[in-house]
Amino acid sequence: MDGSKGVVSEPGPNQLDRLRQAGSIAASVLREAALRVRPGVRSLALCEWVEARIRELGARPAFPCNIGIDSVAAHFTPTASDDVEITAGSLVKIDIGVELDGYITDTAVTLDMRSPHGYLVDVAREALRNVLGLLRGGLRVAEIGGVVYETATRYGCKPIANLSGHEIKRYNLHAGVSIPNIPTSDSQRLESCHIYAIEPFITLRDAPGLVVNSKIVNIFSVRDISLRARGLTPGEQDALKEIIDVSRGLPYTLRWLSERTAMIHQHLYRRGLVFGYPVLVEKSGAPVSQAEHTVIVYEDGCEVLTTG
């Protein structure tokens, strides 16, 4: 969706109400999901529970629930036939999004299954906490990256350099400004009354601190040009319409689609009519932790929307 639907001026009562509701639902579902995480639990069961719970509370998932175990940093959601289980000794990231009337909140937590690298959980949390205390309108995003980097290195860790937070607009999960996790020369500044997801990713000091694409792609989104594409068969047209209806232009996964549309989906993907998000893994296989909140920034601070 275009940026014209974003919160770009003083949010009205209805906008704030929707954002706060979405944030409260996200916080509640994430807390409940965390209680379900233990060795032997299937990722699929956990993700399906999260997505169903969001719907039960009157909202919709803004994207498929992400489960990242150890070096899997982002963009993994299980397929309907996936048998991936949470294992003892691992770090487990849960990243969820909630959409209510197009207003989106995004939040994540890392859980320690008695990993030898459990300290990464605390470092990510502290980095997030330190950034939240700094936020205000006019702040350079480069300063945020500096705070994450300083926090990580103080504890002998390293942030993931090529993962970042992001601005959020209505029906647009990744809009406009990116929020770095390392110091940069970026001159962009946070704007008052805009919505941002702040999400430090932390790994080991000796790791590259970079993520790379894996060959797994389970999350997709529809390209804006898709419905205007020439030469679509009636089946492809119907499939695209279903995808748009299910996703509202936001990321989706095949297990949300009918069997017929899921079968046609590969043709749409090969033609470039839908876009895939490869699972991102730490380059050396090092474990990664994550902590995330969505905030609305004001001139003199911020409101954390996903604390519930």
Residue pair 163/174 in contact (Cβ under 8 Å)? The answer is no
How crowded is residue 138: how many other Cβ atoms within 10 Å of its Cβ? 10
Please state, in angstroms and rounded to a whole number, the distance separating the CA atoms of residues 55 and 74: 23
Q: How far apart are CA 32 and CA 50, in angstroms?
A: 9
Return d(Cα 50, Cα 109) in angstroms, integer.
Answer: 14
Q: Cα angle vertex 285, ends 40, 266, to 5°?
A: 75
Rounded Cα distance between 299 and 193, Å, is: 8
Distance separating alpha carbons of residues 40 and 54, to the nearest angstrom: 23
| Residues known to be catalytic | 95, 106, 166, 174, 199, 292
